[in-house]
Structure 1
């Protein structure tokens, strides 16, 4: 957790892993944040301010299970309460433009939002628009009195029922609820992840087109017109957009990504570290795991990796960037710098 740089108020900070997979980094977050815990705390307090996101439903399920297991020895829980594990099935890059769903922010921020959606889903499956509307009205009173809001909710319900009649499955309601939950988060103090390393050229064409249509990407690709020069790895795109969307002014970002980011022309645009057109990010530290005696940190991958620490603050000396090379001790399973 070198990214936290000895933060003495770590318990007050929030974390996100935007590509959490089975929750390995989440477990580190929980252990690190609660390392000085002496007494058991409520599970809601335990999971507060630590968020995971992944596009793979199996990975999300595994991550939730691992979060639950990690909290068993450290938490108290009330069997009569329902607990939300903040690991969400969503894409960190963009929201799919399938249908338009609009919900009041106060409703999304309710602690029982997911339970509300699950209840509404029962009526969507039965194609019962009136029943679904009653649940909305019961859970959020302004819907009943605000005509414009009520009509918007009715339109949402009609769209979802159409999905159901087309056999597209009410699972979409759960997926939308995850995206709404993610939209309720604004900034994070720490963004730490091991993202997907996939070349832009091998992504499904429909996915590439959707990203281009729904996201500002100018300046991210290399100016090199050769095919190789323009073949950005999606991990760099995820990194840029996560910083743009979630990184707080005092926060720190750290992704484990290929070492080729430092010199490959494909990453020329990413290395400029520009977000929101005119705002600048800065490399604060690079941890290099490619030293000859270190070995592969991911066996069989055949790539060298570095951890890139980035923030909105430049170092005092802008001409010097700390690079730490980790060397594996031959007699111990640890790394020395």
Structure 2
């Protein structure tokens, strides 16, 4: 199976997914009513919500969005990397945010639908409440968009599994041209993998990090 990770919304929605739909249009005609999944995710291969192998994390913290909608997502790791359960919880939350439902009522509906157990809710209430209210705040400021679906894409990419071949297309964007907020997010990963160089000839490629 092939998966594609794209960080640009236009590349994901208007280009890659539409092209696949056009390519398989004849198959869709012959399989009406069948759910399909197009494995092209809005995600970031450099800044991923993958588990930290050096820590036994109970809560996963992940930041997405622009400087205006700087969104910190907190999720219990057991839920964050369980695609089926995360889908169920996020679909409900997305629907309730669109109705401006407050957290207390949302928690009741999650419990009523038995999406998580009562014991899990006791342990997970704080991160779930934090994430829900952050997105609710964006919604009330007309910045909701489709945040739950965007977040779900990013977490899907972290559990996509292993691959035989990885094909990349480095954009070679100068470090100095990246938004400051994004540079702060990806710098730990760049440091970990030795992306920055101390060699003078790399100055032209702008891969030398300077404080």
Structure-1-length-normalised TM-score: 0.45
Partner of 1:58: 10
Indicate the residue corresponding to 1:207 in structure 2. Answer: 182
How many residues are paired up?
Answer: 181
Q: What CA deviation, in whole Å up to 9, does each residue of 1:214-245 have, x standing for no partner?
A: 4242532222257725613xxxxxxxxxxxxx
Are residue 126 (structure 1) and residue 99 (structure 2) matched?
yes
Among 180, 183, 186, the alignment partner of 2:155 is 180
CA contact (8 A) 1:133 1:157 kept: no
- Paired residue secondary structure (1:189): coil
Q: Does the Cα contact within 8 Å between 2:83 and 2:156 map onto a contact in 1? A: yes
CA contact (8 A) 1:90 1:178 kept: yes
Q: CA deviation at 1:167?
A: 3.6
Are residues 1:109 and 2:83 paired? yes
Matched, 1:217 2:198: no
Question: Alignment partner of 2:195: what SS?
Answer: coil
Task: Tell me the SS of whatever aligns to 1:191.
Answer: coil
1:77 aligns with 2:31: yes
The structure whose residues are more often helix, as a share, is 2
Taking only aligned residues, the RMSD between alpha carbons, in angstroms, comes to 3.2
1:160-206 CA-to-partner distances (Å, cap 9, x unmatched) read 22332344324322221111111222322211133323232333333
Note the alpha carbon deviations across 1:274-306, whole angstroms, 9 max, x for none: xxxxxxxxxxxxxxxxxxxxxxxxxxxxxxxxx
Could you tell me how far apart the structure 2 residues matched to 1:231 and 1:106 are? 35
Conservation of the 8 A alpha-carbon contact between 1:222 and 1:229: no
Structure 1 residues 225 and 160, CA, compared in 2 at 3 Å: closer, same or farther? same
Secondary structure at the counterpart of residue 75 of structure 2: coil
2:81/2:155 contact within 8 Å kept: no
C-alpha change, 1:136 and 1:179, in structure 2 (3 Å) is farther
| Paired residue secondary structure (2:149) | helix
Alpha-carbon spacing, 1:209–1:154, altered in 2? closer, same or farther (3 Å)? closer
Task: Give the ranges of 4+ consecutive aligned residues of structure 1 lying more than 6 Å apart after TM superposition.
Answer: none
CA distance in 1, matches of 2:8, 2:181: 18
What residue is the counterpart of 2:72 in the other structure? 99
How many angstroms apart in 1 are the aligned matches of 2:108 and 2:160?
27
Say which is worse superposed, 132-141 or 57-66, in terms of deviation: 132-141
